[in-house]
């Protein structure tokens, strides 16, 4: 396995997502090749990767929403305590 190289552009760089694709491309292709070599069809591997990515994105969004809600509750609790 090759090492995935870190970003070399700032977070607000408009091409940052392309740099990320470049960094992940070889590992991604190797991962798919390993799954196909294990007996899975390429189409089912790709469909599964899409579903896993979607589920992971939903989980991250839910975590962010939960963190925001907890921050509001903590602030409200502190405000109530100080009164």
Q: Rounded to whole angstroms, what are the CA distances from 15 to 7, 50, 52, 57?
A: 11, 22, 24, 21
pLDDT 10s digits, 7-60: 999 999 999 999 999 999 999 999 999 999 999 999 999 999 999 999 999 999
**What is the average pLDDT across 3-7?**
89
Total domains in the fold of the chain: 1
Provide the pLDDT for residue 64: 85
Does the structure show a pLDDT above 80 at 83?
A: no
> 59: domain range?
16-82
On whether residue 55 sits in a domain, the answer given is yes
On whether residue 1 sits in a domain, the answer given is no
pTM for the structure as a whole? 0.68
On whether residue 8 sits in a domain, the answer given is no
Residue 1's pLDDT band (cuts 50, 70, 90): low
């Amino acid at each position: 396995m090759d090492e995935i190289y870190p970003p070399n552009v700032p977070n607000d760089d408009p091409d940052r997502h392309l740099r990320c694709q470049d960094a992940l491309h070889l590992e991604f292709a190797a991962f798919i090749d390993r799954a196909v070599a294990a007996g899975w069809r390429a189409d089912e591997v790709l469909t599964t990767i899409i579903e896993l990515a979607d589920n992971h994105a939903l989980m991250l969004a839910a975590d962010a929403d939960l963190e925001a809600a907890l921050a509001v509750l903590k602030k409200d609790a502190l405000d109530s305590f100080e009164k």
